[in-house]
Homo-oligomer: A and B are copies of this chain.
Amino acid sequence: MSSRREATRHRLFEAAITLISEQGFGATSVDQIAERAGVAKGTVYYNFSGKAELYTALMEWGVQRLSDHLSAAVVGPPREALSSVLRTELEFIGTHESLARLLMAEAWRTRQTWYDTVRQIRAGAIGVISGLLEDLVEAGELPDDLDIGVAGSALFGMVLTVALDWRTLQPDRPLEEIHATLIRLVDGFLTR
């Protein structure tokens, strides 16, 4: 694939993320996306088979970015790694707010073409967290009869919800404060 084409696709992603996260998939027209990306409408169809495929590709591209960030944050002993992963999730959502809203809005929708893609995303992200919880169980810092799947989902949702509320309601607060509150809650889980 030529790099010119690659660049065009990238511009379309950036345009689509913002518009769709603000207005929703249905309310965003291909015209708007093309105009914002600075290309002709036909170019969207040259690069993607249609609006739905653009959306699916967009989410896959988003996943890759989130996964890469979270995985890179798994460093050091479990407790520190968990803290680092949660901070990274917060940071990612802060930086790529549009993408995060977009993922969340669709994450709860069943019977969509892209349902499987979204589920994959969630599984990947939650997997990183669940992996760390397992390490903590082995290290004796969590009881070994804890339901790791549910707990991972709980932590993921907690950070996500807090992050989006932070961006929506109190965008000026420093990330550090939010992170500190989250860590206090999570530390409560851990065996003392």
Contacts and interface: CB of A to CB of B under 8 A. Distances in A.
A108 B101 contact: yes
How many of these chains are in the complex? 4
Contacts of A23: 109, 111-112
A108 B105 contact: yes
A155 to B, nearest CB: 8
A190 B106 CA distance: 34
Contacts of A108: 100-101, 104-105, 164
Contacts of A104: 104, 107-108
Interface residues of A, number: 45
Interface of A: 21-27, 100-101, 104-112, 143, 146-147, 150-151, 153-158, 160-162, 164-166, 168, 177-178, 181-182, 184-185, 188-190
Given A26-B27, A158-B161, 9 more contacts: A22-B112, A23-B109, A24-B25, A24-B109, A25-B27, A150-B178, A151-B185, A154-B181, A154-B182
